[in-house]
Amino acid sequence: MKHIGTLLALSLVTGRCLAAQDTSKAAAPAPAPPPAAAPAMQITVDEAAIAKSVLDRAPQDTGSAFPADVGQLICWTKVTGAGGASIHHVWFHGDTQVGDVELQVGGSPWRTWSKKTVPADWTGAWHVEVRDASGAVLKRFDFTVGQ
């Protein structure tokens, strides 16, 4: 007890506070678990159409067969789960890729569309693939022009 009083008096005189320190070897704390991986973005195509035009963000004159003189067509899609990401509309005439349009998605759900000029002599089978940013095909639309 005499030593404690002496230490207390010394700390008051010197203005220093003495603290105890545990120097025994304690088990090291377990490392924190790694952070959980962010869930993969699940993009779905809720609605889609090939159309001649868009009015008030809705497709007009939709179909799967169009005349040779159609001039241009639109691929319209409504997606969910892609807010802040992008999707692609990849256009094909036969098996030849003739367009790849990247579309930014601002929210979920989100409606977006791309246009493709269709020359009058490009008749036959067409298709559009809706792809995510990694290239995975989310939806495919087959249609014909001029037949």
Question: What pLDDT score does 95 carry?
Answer: 95
CATH number at residue 113: 2.60.40.1930
Question: What pLDDT score does 37 carry?
Answer: 47
Specify the pTM: 0.71
Which range of residues forms the domain containing residue 57? Answer: 44-145
Total domains in the fold of the chain? 1
Task: Answer whether residue 51 is part of any domain.
Answer: yes
Contact between residue 105 and residue 78 where contact means Cβ atoms under 8 Å apart:
no
Give per-residue pLDDT as tens, 5-33: 444 444 444 455 444 454 555 555 666 66
Question: What pLDDT score does 136 carry?
Answer: 95
Question: What pLDDT score does 42 carry?
Answer: 87
Task: Answer whether residue 108 is part of any domain.
Answer: yes
Task: Answer whether residue 14 is part of any domain.
Answer: no
Task: Answer whether residue 135 is part of any domain.
Answer: yes
Give per-residue pLDDT as tens, 28-43: 566 666 555 444 568 9
Q: What are 84's two structure tokens?
A: 């802040």
Question: 3 φ, ψ to 5°?
Answer: -70, -35
**What residue type is assigned to position 17 of the chain?**
C
